[in-house]
Chains A and B, each alone.
Chain A
Amino acid sequence: MRDFLKKTLIAGLCLASVALVWAADEGGVIQRFEKADKNGDGKITLAELKALTENAKRAQNLFNRFDKDGDGGITRAELQAGAQSMMAAKAATMKKPGKNPAAKPEPEKSEPSKTDAIKSAAATDQRHSTRDPIAAAAAIDHEINLELTKAKVPASPLASDSEFIRRVSLDLRGRIPSLSETQAFLKNTGSDKRRKLIDEYLADEEYGEHFAIIWYHRIAKPDDDNMRALVKNELQPWLADGFNQNRGWDGIVKDILTATGDRQHSPATTFWLSAVNDAKLGQPDPAKATAAASRLFMGVRLECCQCHNHPFTELKQTDFWGTAAFFAQTHAKGATQKAAKDNATPDVFEQAGFTEKRKKKGETAEKTPPAPFGSVAIPFEEGQTVHATFLGGKEPDVKGQSTLRPIFAEWLTASSNPYFARAAVNKLWANFFGRGIVDPIDDMQADSPNTHPALLSFLADEFAASKYDQKHLIRCICNSHVYQRSSQPTPENKSDDVLYSKMPLKIMTADMLYDSLATALGHQVADAERRGKGMAGKKQQGGPRQEFRKFFHAESDDDAGIVADYSHGVPQVLRLMNAKQINDTSTTVAHLMQTATKPDKIIAGLYATVLSREPTPAEITRAKKFIATDKDAANAYGDLMWALLNTSEFLFNH
């Protein structure tokens, strides 16, 4: 995180675009300010600024510019003022003469600030594909519409701006937009405001944090064997940085599959620690790692052929163990119950011929004799060993090698690999549409139906050609009409579930619900809080978020990060209806009653806060009637907000 901040600062120092980003993001200013302000005295000194960059001269220039009163420190106010004047000056040089945007410094209307924010993000965007997402979006539309025409199913019209901002905010940042975000977007008359909003959200740190949550839970599935090795979640921030810096997916996966070192310094080792088996004395189990790697990165359920050949595919038992052989010499230290008690941080390493020597009395673990280098022994089948073999049958030459995982990782992430890009694309598609092009998403080798084979191939090729640029892939999808269609069915496409004639409904995941409730209720989700300091932050891993997640998450959620079908039972609904925190609508209601006096305005504010849209005239009439029945107006507005929060319109992403 600190590295990311530093890079952002360095990248932006000469243009002071950092300051522009700060100016556009009030909460962010406070947090970044506090980060830069090492000694916490409320001022950034020259030394503190220099600590953030290697270029002392630039730091000096910037410092002089911002420290208006010359007292040797930049206060928050000076920072904001300086940023605004620089922004205005820059905007003036960019715009045609005659217009004077400097006269209108309100950040909300000033397009340049957003553009620069994106540029600044692009500076840390490690992939930043130059490929055209709009052309790819058109290709997506073409493929989808082809099938619709064939089936004679008409598409629903495009979603309204309200539907769009809510959907894209949930899909890219994992929460509903705030009231001010919604209002600004609805007011904006720019013709390409949707494309810009997608870019803006992709540049928001919450983007990486949201996808990190999804992938963390896919990778680190706690069970009785691994829970002690996973007590600390260091992987999620690591993933968030990776997604925010837009590292190529190949690089992230390679890091994960070849990770060594202790969990704290090498969070990617978490993948291997999730595979530890208590019965194997805290050693990563090659079988568990194989099942996970194939499901996560290849879209194949190899574990089906752990014990027998796959019933629906060509996959054989030897395919499973051939892959497992690459992982057979990966070991861990300190991933046992005892080590966890001693607060040890577990360590992962790859070493040929290593065997765990400690033996507990009475341990009933199966003891398999170690197989020769490059092979794995099949448990319970004495003497049976399998050579490391790539899926498809090729055996790598392992002579002279000391490690096997890098060989596997290179093969997997090569552009010629038939699994890697397709699996990633299919999973990402499912994030947006609630189902994969091949569904179920991690069983792509089986005879699972592929509704749009040409589209899947196109997207996989595009992803590979962009060097596995996830932000690019998201731009391609989110700029398509297919993604931007309304979820409301027409009489003719009502029964279509697979052709994407309309946007399918998805129930919010537990994390989305948590962040969206916090956003709507104004529960300490000022930006600084969200960014990880407060209890409501996405990065915050213990406490209320974890408890909430445990309570609301659906079992299917872990694998997919998506839940298309309804997943709440009676206990969840009771909590939504009756829990004190969720019923505490006072902050939002009080705020709206302060800023407006007319009931229509307050009602509109509540609708925009919870549902990101304006109420219809009929809804306003109904709400006013309801408010009039209560002497205590604040209480009545609270009840109205309660009802809004319990509608399916709130609880679903549509």
Chain B
Amino acid sequence: MFSTLDNSLSRRDWLKLSSLGALSLPVSGWLNVLAARAAGPSQSKARHKSCILLFMEGGPSHIDTFDPKPGNSSSEIKPISTAVPGVQISEHFPKLATKMKDMALLRGMSTGEGSHGRARYYMHTGYRGGVGGVIHPSMGAVASNFLGRETDELPNFVSIGDRSYGAGYAGPLHAPVEVARAAAGIENLHVPDTMPAFDKRTRLLDEMEKSFVDRMQIPSLEAHRATYQRASALMHSPKSKAFDISNEPDALREAYGRNAFGEGCLLARRLVEQGVSFVEVQLGKWDTHTNNAKRVQALSEQVDPAMSTLLTDLQQRGMLDSTLVIWMGEFGRTPKVGKQGGRDHYPKAWTSVMAGGGLKLGQAVGRTDKEGGTVEEGKITAVDFMATVCKALGIDYTKELHTPAGRPMRVVDKGETPVAELF
């Protein structure tokens, strides 16, 4: 589907989708076709690989998290040993240390974009922003495009927390559904009155819509129809309960942590469980130009329980092998602590983490020097990283796509080398 992407892709997709809806069924009407299907038995087994991206906005200090450097005099944390002999991480990750066999540390990240916005865009899309006048689809939109199905009741790309990077030229079908606060669930999922009242007025809308669509015969109108179908299906679907974390047992909620990030991770698991292809959970405030040590500790204390519980939870449900979990920021931080007690942006050498996804885990790939300032072995560029994510999810990243202007563009830019040690 993605390979035929051109300026009419979205239209064609929508047409395909609406052809699934039975326009000729006068009883249920177009809005309620998927809704009727949603009321049927639901398949809850994930049918493809999914991805949970834990995005650390601001750029975490690699030296103070997953690439400790006792030899660096500015280091303010102690390294601790993990379940994998020889691999050490920050003392503020005691729970994650026990999960190291399910994780791989990529210590050779070297990405070359040191400004937040551009770096975030680069790490989400694998392309530098603002070049060539196109907006590239982010990881989540790519996953939605390749792994999602048009008939899914749940969205294929959910972003929890801040606004993420969107679908770009892949079109609104693959844009993220945004959840600002995990505990509050998805906005406007519920009607102000009752579902029977909603159904009654959507039947009226159905009839009204039909005459205009018949008159105009424009593909864009099919897109309108399809999106309404999908939203209505979501409202009717028992699967939409996945957005409500209040049903989870207290003990598990405690284990994830009763904070926005912990709740986001729990929601991510619930969504992936129902077949959502890609969930991004954000944790901000890693831009520690000042007071680095204390702030990194506080943030680590949120990451440690949430991420370790997520891995355990996925494992216990038999989903860890089919779910790739990524932990990363937009860059690392300087090996030296400045006068204000902070570290500045540093894209030259940093660490990301991958877990689950059926990868070869329990290892640290790549190495930085003893200050944590230069990659000595196993250098990974943004393009390499994006290719690795795609490969882990079973996406053919060499496919060439066409932007709306007709320009050919690969899913992942040329010059990629996926991290071989993981496969």
Write the residues of chain A forming the contact surface with B, with a CB cutoff of 8 angstroms. Answer: 223-225, 277-279, 288, 291, 295, 301, 303-304, 306-307, 360-365, 440, 442-443, 448, 487-489, 494, 505, 507, 550, 554-556, 559, 564-575, 577-580, 583, 619, 622, 626, 629, 639-640, 642-644, 646-649, 651-652, 654
Residues of B within 8 A of A622 (CB): 204, 207
User: Which of A489, A555, A643 is in CB contact (< 8 Å) with B205?
Assistant: A643
Cβ-closest 10 pairs across A and B? A224-B117, A566-B223, A362-B344, A578-B188, A573-B231, A643-B205, A574-B188, A639-B201, A224-B116, A361-B338
Task: Knowing A301-B133, A570-B177, say if A565 contacts B115 (CB, 8 Å).
Answer: no
What CA separation (Å) do A622 and B197 show in the bound complex? 17
How far does the Cβ of B203 sit from chain A's closest Cβ, in whole Å?
9
Residue B172 CB within 8 A of the other chain: yes
Residues of A within 8 A of B209 (CB): 647-648
Residues of B within 8 A of A442 (CB): 133
Binary CB contact string for chain B from 3 to 14 against chain A (1 if under 8 A, 0 otherwise)? 000000011001
Task: Knowing A277-B115, A573-B228, say if A489 contacts B216 (CB, 8 Å).
Answer: yes
Residues of B within 8 A of A556 (CB): 135
Residue pair A577, B217 in contact (C-beta under 8 Å):
no
Residue pair B187, A566 in contact (C-beta under 8 Å):
no
Residue pair B115, A224 in contact (C-beta under 8 Å):
yes
Residue B367 CB within 8 A of the other chain: no
Residues of B within 8 A of A639 (CB): 197, 200-201, 204
Residue pair A303, B207 in contact (C-beta under 8 Å):
no
User: Which of B178, B198, B224, B404 is in CB contact (< 8 Å) with A651?
Assistant: B224
Known: A278-B115, A647-B212. 14 other contacts (CB 8 A): A224-B117, A303-B133, A440-B404, A448-B405, A489-B216, A489-B217, A571-B177, A571-B186, A574-B235, A626-B204, A642-B205, A647-B205, A648-B212, A651-B224
Residue pair A578, B191 in contact (C-beta under 8 Å):
yes
Residue B107 CB within 8 A of the other chain: no
- Specify the chain A residue showing the minimal Cβ separation from B14: A566
Residues of B within 8 A of A642 (CB): 201, 205
Binary CB contact string for chain B from 331 to 372 against chain A (1 if under 8 A, 0 otherwise)? 000101011000111111000000000000000000000000
Residue B173 CB within 8 A of the other chain: yes
Residue B155 CB within 8 A of the other chain: yes
Residue pair A555, B135 in contact (C-beta under 8 Å):
yes
5 of the cross-chain contacts (CB-CB < 8 Å) are A565-B220, A571-B177, A574-B231, A639-B204, A648-B220
User: Which of B135, B189, B213 is in CB contact (< 8 Å) with A574?
Assistant: B189
Residue B234 CB within 8 A of the other chain: yes
Task: Knowing A360-B344, A362-B344, A574-B188, say if A505 contacts B216 (CB, 8 Å).
Answer: yes
- Specify the chain A residue showing the minimal Cβ separation from B191: A578
Residues of B within 8 A of A578 (CB): 188-192, 235
Residue B230 CB within 8 A of the other chain: yes
What CA separation (Å) do A95 and B188 show in the bound complex? 58
Task: Knowing A223-B117, A360-B344, A573-B227, say if A565 contacts B11 (CB, 8 Å).
Answer: yes
- Specify the chain B residue showing the minimal Cβ separation from A649: B212
Residue B114 CB within 8 A of the other chain: yes
Residue B132 CB within 8 A of the other chain: yes
User: Which of A577, A629, A647 is in CB contact (< 8 Å) with B188?
Assistant: A577
Q: How many residues of B contact A (CB 8 A)?
A: 72
Residue pair B405, A440 in contact (C-beta under 8 Å):
yes
Residue pair B155, A580 in contact (C-beta under 8 Å):
no
Residues of A within 8 A of B420 (CB): none
How far does the Cβ of B127 sit from chain A's closest Cβ, in whole Å?
13
Residue pair B188, A488 in contact (C-beta under 8 Å):
no
Task: Knowing A224-B117, A555-B166, say if A569 contacts B192 (CB, 8 Å).
Answer: no
- Specify the chain A residue showing the minimal Cβ separation from B120: A224
Residue pair A505, B220 in contact (C-beta under 8 Å):
yes
Binary CB contact string for chain B from 152 to 172 against chain A (1 if under 8 A, 0 otherwise)? 000100000001001010011
- Specify the chain B residue showing the minimal Cβ separation from A304: B132
Residue pair B187, A362 in contact (C-beta under 8 Å):
no
Residue pair B217, A494 in contact (C-beta under 8 Å):
yes
Residues of A within 8 A of B207 (CB): 622
- Specify the chain B residue showing the minimal Cβ separation from A638: B201
User: Which of B135, B202, B345 is in CB contact (< 8 Å) with A364?
Assistant: B345
User: Which of B10, B130, B338 is in CB contact (< 8 Å) with A566?
Assistant: B10
Residues of B within 8 A of A307 (CB): 131
Task: Knowing A574-B189, A642-B201, A648-B212, say if A225 contacts B115 (CB, 8 Å).
Answer: yes
User: How many A-B contacts if CB must be within 8 Å?
Assistant: 173
How far does the Cβ of B158 sit from chain A's closest Cβ, in whole Å?
10
A574, A575, A629, A643 — most chain B CB neighbours (10 Å): A574
User: Which of A306, A364, A440, A565 is in CB contact (< 8 Å) with B10?
Assistant: A565
User: Which of A303, A569, A571, A648 is in CB contact (< 8 Å) with B187?
Assistant: A571
Residues of B within 8 A of A568 (CB): 172, 224, 227
User: Which of A443, A505, A640, A649 is in CB contact (< 8 Å) with B133?
Assistant: A443
Residues of A within 8 A of B80 (CB): none
Residues of B within 8 A of A654 (CB): 216
Residues of B within 8 A of A291 (CB): 130
Residue B208 CB within 8 A of the other chain: yes
Residue pair A566, B115 in contact (C-beta under 8 Å):
no
What CA separation (Å) do A593 and B215 show in the bound complex? 31
Task: Knowing A362-B338, A573-B231, say if A303 contacts B130 (CB, 8 Å).
Answer: yes
How far does the Cβ of A583 sit from chain B's closest Cβ, in whole Å?
5
How far does the Cβ of A366 sit from chain B's closest Cβ, in whole Å?
9
Residues of B within 8 A of A644 (CB): 208
A291, A304, A578 — most chain B CB neighbours (10 Å): A578
How far does the Cβ of B50 sit from chain A's closest Cβ, in whole Å?
18
Residue pair B172, A364 in contact (C-beta under 8 Å):
no
Residue B221 CB within 8 A of the other chain: yes
Residue pair B334, A583 in contact (C-beta under 8 Å):
no
B11, B339, B343, B345 — most chain A CB neighbours (10 Å): B345
Residue B252 CB within 8 A of the other chain: no
What CA separation (Å) do A594 and B155 show in the bound complex? 43
Residues of B within 8 A of A565 (CB): 10-11, 171, 220, 223
Residues of A within 8 A of B228 (CB): 573, 577, 646
- CB contacts under 8 Å to A, within B267-296, are none
Residues of A within 8 A of B130 (CB): 288, 291, 303
Residues of B within 8 A of A571 (CB): 177-178, 186-188
What CA separation (Å) do A347 and B349 show in the bound complex? 36
Residues of A within 8 A of B235 (CB): 574, 578
How far does the Cβ of A426 sit from chain B's closest Cβ, in whole Å?
15
Residue pair A364, B344 in contact (C-beta under 8 Å):
yes
- Specify the chain A residue showing the minimal Cβ separation from B232: A577
Residues of A within 8 A of B187 (CB): 571, 574-575
Residues of A within 8 A of B166 (CB): 555
Residue B184 CB within 8 A of the other chain: no
Residue pair B205, A646 in contact (C-beta under 8 Å):
yes
Residue pair B115, A577 in contact (C-beta under 8 Å):
no
Residue pair B177, A569 in contact (C-beta under 8 Å):
yes
Task: Knowing A488-B216, A574-B187, say if A567 contacts B172 (CB, 8 Å).
Answer: yes
- Specify the chain A residue showing the minimal Cβ separation from B10: A565
Residues of A within 8 A of B348 (CB): 364
What CA separation (Å) do A564 and B133 show in the bound complex? 18
What CA separation (Å) do A304 and B403 show in the bound complex? 15
Residues of A within 8 A of B178 (CB): 571
Residue pair A575, B188 in contact (C-beta under 8 Å):
yes
Residue B175 CB within 8 A of the other chain: yes
- Specify the chain A residue showing the minimal Cβ separation from B209: A647
- Specify the chain B residue showing the minimal Cβ separation from A625: B204
Residues of A within 8 A of B215 (CB): 488
User: Which of B172, B190, B191 is in CB contact (< 8 Å) with A554?
Assistant: B172
Task: Knowing A301-B133, A364-B344, A565-B223, say if A648 contacts B213 (CB, 8 Å).
Answer: yes
Residue pair A569, B172 in contact (C-beta under 8 Å):
yes
Residue B218 CB within 8 A of the other chain: yes
What CA separation (Å) do A640 and B205 show in the bound complex? 8
What CA separation (Å) do A387 and B314 show in the bound complex? 60
What CA separation (Å) do A36 and B142 show in the bound complex? 57
- Specify the chain A residue showing the minimal Cβ separation from B131: A303
What CA separation (Å) do A555 and B163 show in the bound complex? 13
